[in-house]
A and B are shown apart, each in its own frame.
Chain A
């Protein structure tokens, strides 16, 4: 019995971080799609319908908040859990994200790749 691999969309403009997430999470058993800017992120989410989106905030073209708002407004994508993965960390940033519908908010430099993977698995089990 083999379950279908869960699909993750990683929206991150820093290529080193994007590749690191891709390599690590692929080895953890996920199927990874990537996008390097906000607009590409929105398009990819609507096309690929991932099980979860990892979303950075500072992005070219459209920022993470705009992506978040767009995905939550669209009937097709609004149920997809979105984890904000960013280095901004003030209360305003977090509040704004939760208000816009983010499932949770992680500060990149506080989390190891292993811990990010754990959060993703926890979030997916809850759905």
Chain B
């Protein structure tokens, strides 16, 4: 991994160490030193023709190789250790944070499902607000953990044959309530029979859900969201089109970054985690596809993603 990627600066950034400690840099340095010493030996040998000079230079080369070599090995070992510590930290934190969150969520669910007798309207309203906030927090913790796993290269997909039409229909069903509340129509525009795609079923549903809920969220009352799926050669392209507030041109290149929020969204619109598109992009690209969008402020946005069709 380190040898293949010779972009030393990027590697230093990723590993969080100074440039001269990155393994690639050290390997290059080692190579240069060997080269220089060999040239020196050659000239020494030519000019002095003495075995002592030769032996001396051989000894020097060996010492240099061993020092730099062991320095590199020590560095790599240390980084591996830090990475392992990071993983363990994520694992432990995830368990610690999720436990009280699970408790809160289940207790509220129990309260609302079976224990609301005698509660007045105001109390119910308060409890519902608490439930909403808790759900948001739970999703944020989940998203943060997903993002950390992605950054660590530990986010794995279970690729299988996915019926994308069914996935879309299920996601629409889950979002129907939200849409109806805002008087937004969700229109499906794709054939009954669609080719299967190679993807992780659960994760693709996260992507579709993210695009659809964004479309609904960033639309004012009433409007239309259209979901299409087209076969394009070896790929299937899904698009989610809305006629909502769109994304200002000057912000469009940041759309897939972590915690991106466009300026034209009111400050009150803080329902999401801001990580949805970052996660979606990661999922689609790891599945071998592409994700992109077109958007015009005040006219709406269309988000697209492509996936490979399963070979028949």
Contact = CB atoms under 8 A, between A and B. Distances in A.
B98 A87 contact: yes
Interface of B: 87, 90-91, 94-95, 98-99, 101-103, 105-107, 109-110, 113-114, 138, 141-142, 145, 149, 154, 156
Nearest to A109: B98
Contacts of B87: 90
B107 A20 contact: yes
B110 A20 contact: yes
Contacts of A35: none
A27 B113 CA distance: 10
Interface residues on A, range: 20 to 34
B101 A16 contact: no
The 3 closest A-B pairs by CB, nearest first: A87-B98, A109-B98, A20-B106
28 contacts: A16-B107, A17-B102, A20-B106, A20-B107, A24-B106, A24-B113, A24-B114, A58-B95, A87-B94, A87-B99, A88-B94, A89-B94, A90-B87, A90-B90, A90-B91, A90-B154, A91-B154, A93-B91, A108-B98, A108-B102, A109-B98, A109-B101, A109-B105, A109-B141, A112-B105, A112-B106, A112-B109, A113-B109
Interface string A86-110: 1111110100000000000001111
A14 B156 CA distance: 29
A114 interface: yes
A30 B94 CA distance: 30
Contacts of B114: 23-24, 27
Of A16, A93, A114, the most chain B CB neighbours within 10 A belong to: A16
Given A16-B107, A113-B113, A90 B149 contact: yes
Given A24-B113, A114-B113, A14 B98 contact: no
